[in-house]
């Protein structure tokens, strides 16, 4: 199984642990990732807000590079995934848009390849059965809230791999890894995205609501598939809690980190040591990092 890999800007910076852990679990599960050489930014919300053609052309350049190689594209960043899918759909649906985009990027792009969320590739292509077979350190006793945010599942005509209102892909993955997924009502609520930078006052209230609902549903941690969601919930957790006179201690995980842990990799190798809210004490308290055979309880 081979995919073109589009990490996106965040995965080289604030989300480097997502990049690290994604590469590790892909290799472990026999998925070859061919990183698109000299890939460029997808333009994110900024291009989308300002210039329709630019917002399609920037991702299209990367898709064209992958298409020339005959590969589908695997994308860990939910925001990038959404933008790449939008470009793919626009080109697939309209011949004149195809011509315009090809002209702007100076490359032929016909959208014969597909963009897939890395989560989708793992759960639906590699498959939960295969992942389950490889688990050596089950996340036994760990209660997690699967948080999808908005761009991974909406709008459904673009994303189309899970239910836009009650997605279950990550919940099922958590179960396959031996953990528990709590039922909660904020799994697709928007975290405010870049609003947290531009209007922190508004952003932290949105972040606070998500954290509060996860905790109230009994979650001990939150699992995400988006660098911006992660950054908002992890880095701004203290700010968000303090704004309402509360305190949380909710570790945030990328799903790839949890996969890596369950597959037996060390937290440091996966990047878990660079979180703002330290997740190691929770993993230790549940004795997940110890070999199951030496655990007190039986998994």
Partner 1 sequence: MERVELAGALRENLPLKSQVEAASGVTLSDCYQCGKCSAGCPVAFAMDYTPRQVIRLLQLGLGEEALKSHTPWLCASCQACYTRCPREVNLPRLMEAVRQEARRRGMINEKKVVIFDQAFLSSVERYGRAHEMGLMVQYNLQSGQPFKDALLAPPLLLKGKISPIPAKIKNVAEVKNIFARARAKGGGQH
Rounded CA gap, 271 and 155, in Å? 31
Which position among 164, 168, 249, 295 is part of the footprint of partner 1 (CB under 8 A)?
164
Q: What DSSP assignment string belongs to 128-176?
A: HHHHHHH-SS--TT-EEEE--TTTTT-SHHHH-SS-SSS--HHHHHHHH
For residue 151, state whether it binds partner 1 (rule: CB under 8 A): yes
Binding mask 20-59 for ligand SF4 (x = CB under 6 A): ---------------------xx-x---------------
Instruction: For the CB of residue 292, give the shortest distance to partner 1 in the complex, in Å.
Output: 31
**77 lies in the site for ligand SF4, by CB under 6 A:** yes
Instruction: Output the CA–CA distances (angstroms, integers) from residue 74 to 86, 122, 292, in the order listed.
Output: 15, 10, 32
- Applying CB under 8 A, the site for partner 1 has a residue count of 56
Minimal distance, residue 8 CB to partner 1, in Å: 9
Q: Which of 150, 158, 157 is nearest to 56 (CA)?
A: 158
Contact flag: residue 199 with partner 1 (CB under 8 A): yes
How many CB atoms lie under 10 A from the CB of residue 171?
A: 22
Contacting residue, 80, 117, 144, 206, with ligand SF4 by CB under 6 A: 80
Stretch that binds ligand SF4, among 4-12, 135-143, 248-256, 289-297 (CB under 6 A): 4-12
Is residue 191 at the binding interface for ligand SF4, with CB under 6 A as the rule? Answer: no
* Residue 57 contact, options partner 1, ligand SF4, none, Cβ 5-8 Å cut-off depending on partner type: partner 1
- Kindly indicate which of the ranges 72-80, 95-103, 233-241, 267-275 contains the residues binding ligand SF4, using the contact rule CB under 6 A: 72-80
**Block residue for tokens 């890395």:** 118
Tell me which stretch binds partner 1 (CB under 8 A): 54-62, 123-131, 215-223, 252-260.
Answer: 54-62
**Residue 13 interacts with, from ligand SF4, partner 1, none (CB under 5-8 Å by kind):** partner 1
Q: How far apart are CA 242 and CA 106, in angstroms?
A: 50
Smallest CA-to-CA distance from 256 within 43, 40, 31 is with: 31
3-state class (DSSP) for residue 295:
coil
Residue 115 interacting with ligand SF4 (CB under 6 A): no
Q: Are 110 and 93 within 8 A, CB to CB? A: no
Q: Is 190 in the site for partner 1 (CB under 8 A)?
A: yes
DSSP state at residue 4:
E
Instruction: Count CB neighbours of 285 within 10 A.
Output: 11
Residue found under tokens 């911006």: 228
Q: At what angle do helices 16-28 and 255-262 cross, to 10 degrees?
A: 40
Chain residues in the site for partner 1 (CB under 8 A): 9-10, 12-16, 38-41, 43-54, 57-58, 61, 100, 103-106, 150-151, 154-156, 164-165, 188-190, 192-195, 197-200, 202, 205-206, 209, 235, 274, 276
Chain residues in the site for ligand SF4 (CB under 6 A): 8-10, 41-42, 44, 77, 79-80
């Amino acid at each position: 199984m081979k995919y073109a890999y589009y990490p996106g800007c965040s995965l080289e910076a604030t989300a480097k642990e997502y990049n690290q852990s994604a590469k590790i679990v892909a290799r472990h599960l026999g998925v070859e990732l061919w990183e698109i050489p000299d890939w460029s930014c997808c333009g994110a919300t900024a291009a989308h807000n300002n210039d329709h053609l630019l917002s399609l052309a920037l991702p299209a350049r990367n898709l064209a590079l992958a298409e020339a190689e005959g590969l589908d594209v695997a994308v860990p960043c939910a925001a990038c995934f959404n933008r790449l899918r939008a470009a793919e759909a626009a080109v697939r649906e309209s011949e004149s848009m195809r011509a315009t985009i090809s002209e702007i990027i100076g490359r032929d792009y016909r959208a014969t390849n597909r963009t897939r969320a890395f989560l989708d590739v793992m759960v639906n292509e590699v498959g939960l059965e295969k992942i389950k077979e490889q688990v050596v350190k089950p996340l036994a006793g760990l209660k997690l809230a699967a948080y999808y945010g908005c761009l991974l599942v909406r709008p459904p005509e673009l994303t189309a791999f899970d239910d836009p209102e009650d997605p279950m892909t990550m919940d099922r993955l958590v179960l396959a890894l031996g953990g528990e997924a709590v039922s909660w009502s904020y799994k697709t609520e928007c975290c405010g995205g870049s609003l947290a930078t531009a209007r922190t006052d508004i952003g932290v209230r949105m972040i606070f609501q998500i954290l509060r609902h996860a905790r109230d549903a009994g979650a001990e941690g939150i699992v995400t598939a988006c660098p911006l969601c992660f950054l908002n919930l992890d880095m701004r957790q203290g700010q968000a809690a303090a704004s309402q006179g509360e305190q949380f201690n909710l570790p945030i995980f990328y799903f790839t980190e949890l996969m890596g842990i369950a597959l037996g990799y060390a937290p440091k190798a996966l990047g878990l040591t660079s979180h703002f809210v330290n997740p190691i004490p929770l993993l230790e308290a549940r004795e997940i990092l110890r070999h199951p055979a030496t655990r007190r309880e039986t998994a």
